[in-house]
Chain A
Amino acid sequence: MKTLLNRKHLPFFATVTVFVAIFLIGGSMYNNFLSMRVFGNILADNSFIIIAAIGATFVILSGGIDLSIGSMIGFVGVCMAVLDSMGFDPLTTAVLMLVFGFAFGAFQGWVIDALDIQPFIITLAGLFLLRGMCFMVTINSVPITHEWADLYSDIRIRLPGRGLLRSSAMVMLISLAAAIFIAHFTRFGANVYAIGGDKESARLMGVNIRRTTVLIYATAGFYSALAGVVYALYTKSGYPLAGSTLELSAIAAVVLGGTLLTGGVGTVAGTLFGGMILGLISTLIIFNGSLNSAWILISNGILLFAFIVMHRLLVGTFGIRS
């Protein structure tokens, strides 16, 4: 029993090891890299990617995929900015956008299950739709000027060693805790794993596939919208092209976090480390200064490759899935 548990968590341990290793390598290369300050910044700078990736984790655990994440972030951003310029306060608009994200995700989930179409193509339509709607709301970059937005960026907790835990990072950690609870301590979470493991068996065991699928994509939509809210408040603006191709970063974070794309195996906590590995690498490359931003793309690709091959070998060698 114990060995079985260990096996399932091998990808997660690999992720944590890689994260620590990269952090240490960075620390050996640059002074001041190995500090709470850099750590706090990585948490805050990547909070919206990690939040979106947490939502994507549920989808990928169930064997699906959500491509509408980046467009949702952009759409939420422009809506918040434009509503802000109309005099609404950020809290009201944020709640509104979270409800919208949940409803939009639920709709996508319903279409996927009711019409029995690949999630890839439905969420692709979602990507187009939301991005198009961004441009209908505004084609300009709109600032968010409400005083609550300033208040949001002023909230911070001091960490030991001159580190700061910013509000974005706090939102991320709270939503991570909620997601861990949902994934591992609720019936819905168990159903997600069951569907990802084997949909037919799950159905035969009495899992309500329709309801679970709708909820999975609704959760993903909610988290994407939350990522959009955090992004908009963090950058204090809305821009219709914001978040383009962020869905890829989110999926990459999930994969690096040790969740198998075939579904059924993985953890929400791993996604946190996956997202932070991505952030760590871009920080390292920025620290270096002489390296082109092309290297961020390439190193992400190399890491993705290494992890995918590793997962593949783990599945082959240890039979994680069976």
Chain B
Amino acid sequence: MSRSTEPNLMRRVLRGRAIWPLLALALILVADGFIAPGFYDIRIVEGRLFGNLIDILYRAVPTALVALGMALVIGTKGIDLSVGSIAAISGAVIAWRIQAGDPHGLVLLYALAAGALCGVWNGALVAILGIQPIIATLILMVSGRGIGMLINLIYGGTDPSFQSPFLQGLSTGSLFYIPTRLYVFAAIFIALWLLVRRTALGLFIEATGGNAAASAIAGVNAKLITFAAYLLCGLLAGWAGVILTADTHTSDPVSVALYIELDAILAVVIGGGSLAGGRIYLGMTVIGALVIQALTTSILISGLPPEYNLIIKALVVLLVLVLQSDNARRGLLSRLRRSAR
């Protein structure tokens, strides 16, 4: 019994989508062990865990949050380029409302509401007006950082920094030795997973992305589903903005979360999601975000100039794409077969 299933299992694992990103992550981490002795050390300093592994998790949180939202949007065959701008807007809202003297719990809600509102805008353009997602979200991408700068101007704009033990606790604090933002992320991930996999939402998103016309005939309200995906994406990008802004105690709409949309899309693609839509892999998307962060961290600790980061990232994208491409695999296989003959 086990003999007959074992090779099958092997083949299934090798063919499966899960193995490649995990392998990549493992490879990077093993290589790090050789590059930097003591890479895996984790010690407790001032009541929280410290170490490279924790650092990778810690720093991957904003990208992973955005990537989860992106996974939903890409599942509908869409894309959201405006996530970085949304994070900038939500950060600007935080600084503004704290200066205005609102209770900080309420400020958090405002920031998230701003993110959700941006999601509503994108969703309306894509689902109701039927504009191509790249273009529809390009509008907010172009103007969003300007909106953030304007919000900073509301209260003078000279000093967008703030102090907030509550928000900073959420972002950089720790609880029982573990950084708070990891708890927050875990809670969001579980909630999202339940929403996507324990209700019909995930199925509907995948149906819409796979074939919008067919799913509409089958009774799926494709517009509503698409709308919901962009809304969730905006909300998650807002969360990322909260974490990033609370981390630096200041709202910096020009450069906060710059290029995060590219990293998030990359995380989704590394996680096996296809830009052609119809698939959502939440867990693998998080792995994808970890791969990106692990790469960044290893370049830093290896002593290479951080500028290499972009080049290595580009090569990783190309490699992943080639591995995922049916054409490339087919071409390679036929060449192998020919040479075997």
Give chain A's interface residues, CB within 8 Å of chain B: 65, 111, 114-118, 120-122, 124-129, 131-133, 135-136, 139, 248, 251-252, 255, 261-262, 292-298, 300-302, 304-305, 308-309, 312
Contact = CB atoms under 8 A, between A and B. Distances in A.
B318 to A, nearest CB: 5
B46 interface: no
- Which of A126, A127, A312 counts the most B-chain CB atoms under 10 A from its CB? A312
Given A122-B318, A298-B146, A312-B131, 14 more contacts: A115-B327, A115-B328, A124-B265, A128-B310, A128-B317, A133-B311, A248-B142, A261-B135, A262-B132, A294-B147, A304-B143, A309-B131, A312-B129, A312-B130
Contacts of B166: none
Interface residues of B, number: 47
Contact of B150 (A124, A127, A294, A305): A294
Contact of A116 (B308, B309, B327): B327
Given A115-B322, A139-B307, A132 B139 contact: no
A127 B262 contact: yes
B291 interface: no
Main SS of the interface on chain A? helix
Contact of B142 (A116, A292, A297, A309): A297
A124 B265 CA distance: 10
A135 B130 contact: no
A247 to B, nearest CB: 11
A301 B265 CA distance: 22
B311 A125 contact: no
B314 interface: yes
A124 B135 contact: no
B194 interface: no
Nearest to A304: B139
A296 B146 contact: yes
Contacts of A301: 139-140, 142-144, 146
A228 B317 CA distance: 25
A34 to B, nearest CB: 27
A298 B131 contact: no
Given A121-B317, A136-B311, A300 B142 contact: yes
Given A115-B322, A128-B313, A302 B143 contact: yes
A107 to B, nearest CB: 11
Contacts of B322: 115
Contacts of B149: 292-294, 297
27 contacts: A115-B325, A127-B262, A128-B311, A128-B314, A129-B310, A129-B314, A132-B309, A132-B310, A132-B311, A133-B311, A136-B311, A248-B142, A251-B138, A252-B142, A261-B132, A261-B134, A261-B135, A293-B149, A294-B146, A294-B148, A295-B146, A297-B143, A301-B143, A304-B139, A309-B131, A312-B130, A312-B131
